[in-house]
Amino acid sequence: MRFKLCCLFIGFICGYLMISWMPEVDPFRFTNFITEFIFNPLKSFLAMTSFFVGFLANAILIRSAVEEIVFYLSGHEVRLGELIVSYGVVANFYFLFQMNVILTGLFLIFSIVYGMMSIDLQRKRKFKNNL
């Protein structure tokens, strides 16, 4: 439970930092965007690092939420508190969408794709007494 709460907090903080450190180019032109990345290497590196760490943290929560719903529907025992914390990722993305729609959309897509790729439904069946 604490691990999921940490992932929830880290996912939001990294998403917020990524949005604040990304260069704003309005209207969007690819050449201006790349130029901003080149001339601000520290902010660019920090934004990419926070993007990577944040989408991994959110992907863990998405994977956990999907796995827990599947196990709940199949009749296995699931902790309700952990399920609620896993669905806290929806609140994370809601608040991030209020800040920047495009960057949060990319953040969400990467998190969902990686979370779905890492689902392992056989793992908990072997160790179902772990609950």
Establish whether the linkage from the previous residue to 41 is cis, with ω within 30° of 0: no
CA 47 to chain centre: 14
pTM greater than the 0.85 cutoff: no
> What is the distance between the alpha carbons of residues 121 and 69, in angstroms, rounded to a whole number?
11
Instruction: Please indicate whether residue 119 or residue 114 has the higher confidence score (pLDDT).
Output: 114
Tally of domains within the chain: 1
Q: In which band, very low, low, confident or very high, does the pLDDT at 123 lie, cut at 50, 70 and 90? A: low
Domain of residue 48, residue span? 2-130
> What is the distance between the alpha carbons of residues 46 and 117, in angstroms, rounded to a whole number?
26
Q: What is the mean pLDDT of residues 13-40?
A: 86
pLDDT digit string (tens) for 36-92? 888 888 999 999 999 999 999 999 999 988 888 888 888 878 888 888 888 889 999
Establish whether the linkage from the previous residue to 27 is cis, with ω within 30° of 0: yes
